[in-house]
Amino acid sequence: MTTLVLVSHPHLADSTSQQFLKASLPTNADIVWEHIESQAHLDIEKEQAQLRQADRIILQFPLYWYAAPAGLKQWEDTVLTRTFVYGDHRYPLADKELGIVVTTGMPAKAFQRGGAEGLTLDAALAPLAAVAHRAKMTWLPTFAIHQFAYLEEPEKLQLVVDYQRYLTQTQPDSLQSRQTWFAQKLPGMIDQLPPEQQATGRLIEAEFAQQQDDLDALADTLSLIKERDDD
Amino acid sequence: MTTLVLVSHPHLADSTSQQFLKASLPTNADIVWEHIESQAHLDIEKEQAQLRQADRIILQFPLYWYAAPAGLKQWEDTVLTRTFVYGDHRYPLADKELGIVVTTGMPAKAFQRGGAEGLTLDAALAPLAAVAHRAKMTWLPTFAIHQFAYLEEPEKLQLVVDYQRYLTQTQPDSLQSRQTWFAQKLPGMIDQLPPEQQATGRLIEAEFAQQQDDLDALADTLSLIKERDDD
C-alpha cells in the first residue's frame, strides 16, 4: 500500500509537532512525503500523478482559523482541477482513502458546542470531507493531535505508534487490523533497537504473541456465548 | 455606516460576476472596496485599521472546493492574528457585522443533503462563522449568487438592488428596514437616471410612497386584529 503524506505548514522548520511527526514516519513502508509550501511552484502533473499512485492520501496541517493553512487551499485550488477530480465521469481518486492529521492549539473539549471554539473538528473539516465526497474517496476518521507541546513522554511514544498505524494500518481500525499490523511491524521495530535492548524486545514480542493467542481464545468464547444468546 | 468589501478572486478581471458586482456597488454610500489578491503584499496594519473602522465587513468570493479561494485564507492567516482578534480580551471586531457574498457554479438545490454537492452553504461556511464567533461579531445571513452566467436581465436588475441592500441596509432585513432603505435611496437613484426617464422615476417614487402609506395602514389594521385576538 502506498501512502502519500501532504504536509501544509508555512514555517515547517519551526514547528516542533511537525518535526516530531516527520521523525516518526514509518520506515519499511511505502510512504511518499511532501511539504507543500516547500515546492517552488506547484507542478500540477507531478501532484496529480502522486495522487493517482497513492492508495491512502494524508493531508497533515495545523488548524488555522478552523481550516487548513492557505498553502493547502492553494494546493486544492491549483492541483484539484475539476477535470481531474470528476470531469468526464472518470474519478481517478475513487475509493482511495483520505485521512486528515490535524494539530490544534486547543484541547479536544474546546471543539464542541459550548466549548471555546464552538464547533466540532468534523464541522471545521466539512469542506474537505465534501471534496472527498465529490471525488468518491473514502473519508477516514480524523487523526487529531491536541496541544502537542503539553504531551508527556509516554503520550508522545503512543503518538508515534498511533501515527504510524494511521498512515499504514488496514482500515477500519479494528482489533483485528491492529493485531495484524503489530504482528507485521514488531520484528522490524525490534531489529532497530540498540543491541542491549534486543532481549527486552524479544520478550515483548513473545508476550504479544501470547496475548494474541489469549485474545483469539477470548473471541471464540465470546462468539459461542453470542450464538447461544441468539437462540 | 461604513461597509468594508473584501473581494477574493485569483483572476478578478476575467470574472463576469465579480465585474458585475463591482459595477453594482452603491454610490453615495460609505464603502471601502479592496481586492485582496491585488495587494502586492498584505499590509497587516492597514488591513487591521480598515477592519476597525468598518461597521459591516463583507467577504466576497467564488466558492472553490467548498471554501473561499486560497487568497482569502492567506488574508485570514496573515491579518487575523490572535492578538488582534481576541488577545488580551479586547475584541476590536466585537458587534461588527460579518456578511458573506458567495458565488457558486451550481444551483441552490445542489447545496443540501442528497444534492450534487452534498452539504449546505452554511456547513461550507462554518469555519468562517466560527471566526466571527471567536471575534464576537454578528454573522449576517449569507448572500449567495448561484450560476450568475444563467441569470436573465430582470434577475440581474434585482441582484443589483439586493446586493446594494446587503451592503448598506440596516439589519435585520425586515419589511421596515427595506422600506426605510428604499425611501432613502430612491431620490438618489432617480437623479442618476437619464433625463428622458426622470418622469418615469418620479412616478415610481410617488407609487412607492403611496404603497408605503397602504402598508402602514395595513400594519395598523393587523395590529388591531392581533390586539383583539389577544383578549
User: How does pLDDT run across B9-22, given as a tens digit for each residue?
Assistant: 999 999 999 999 99
Is residue B110 very low, low, confident or very high in pLDDT (cuts 50, 70, 90)? very high
The answer on pLDDT for A207 being more than 90 is no
Give B76→chain A minimum CA distance, Å: 7
pLDDT value, residue A29: 81
**Which backbone phi and psi does A85 adopt, to 5 degrees?**
-75, -45
- pLDDT for position A21: 98
pLDDT band at B166 (very low <50, low <70, confident <90, very high): very high
CB contact under 8 A, B73 and A77: no
Indicate if the pLDDT at residue B133 is higher than 80: yes
Cα distance between residue A222 and residue A228, in whole Å: 10
Is the confidence at residue B164, as pLDDT, over 70?
Answer: yes
The whole-chain average pLDDT of chain A stands at 93
Q: What are phi and psi of A103, to 5 degrees?
A: -105, 140
Q: What is the pLDDT of residue A187?
A: 84
pLDDT of residue B175 exceeding 90: no
Cα–Cα separations (whole angstroms), residue B91 to A57, A104, B26, B130? 38, 22, 29, 15
State whether residue B178 is helix, strand or coil.
helix
Interchain contact B123–A (C-beta under 8 A) = yes
- Report the pLDDT value the prediction gives residue A92, as an integer from 0 to 100: 96
Least confident of B3-12, B41-50, B114-123, B175-184: B175-184
- Chain A hits for B71, Cβ within 8 Å: 70
Residue A231, pLDDT > 80, answer no
Residue A6's pLDDT band (cuts 50, 70, 90): very high
A83-87 contacts at long range (C-beta below 8 A, 24 or more positions apart): A84/A48, A85/A131, A85/A134, A85/A135, A86/A134, A86/A135, A86/A136
Cα separation, A207 vs A226, in Å, equals 28
Indicate if ipTM > 0.90: no
Would the pLDDT of A188 be above 90?
A: no
Region A104-115: mean pLDDT is 95
Q: In chain A, what residues touch B80 (CB-CB under 8 Å)?
A: 65
* pLDDT for B217: 85
pLDDT level of residue B231 (50, 70, 90 thresholds): low
A89 versus A112: which is more confidently predicted? Answer: A112
With a pLDDT cut of 70, the percent of chain A lying above it is: 100
Residue A189 has pLDDT above 90, yes or no: no
Q: How many beta-carbon contacts under 8 Å exist across A and B?
A: 87
- On average, the pLDDT of chain B sits at 93
Q: What is the pLDDT of residues B48-83, one digit of tens each?
A: 999 999 999 999 999 999 999 999 999 999 999 999
Q: Is A42 on the interface with B (CB under 8 A)?
A: no
Determine the pLDDT at residue A33: 98
Superfamily classification of domain B2-173: Flavodoxin domain (3.40.50.360)
Give the domain A2-172 fold.
Answer: Rossmann fold (3.40.50)
Would you report the helix, strand and coil content of chain B in percent, each value rounded to 5? 55, 15, 30
Residue B93's pLDDT band (boundaries 50, 70, 90)? very high
Using an 8 Å CB-CB cutoff, list chain A residues near B124: 126-127, 130
Residues of chain A positioned with their CB less than 8 A from the CB of B65 = 73, 76-77, 80, 127, 130-131
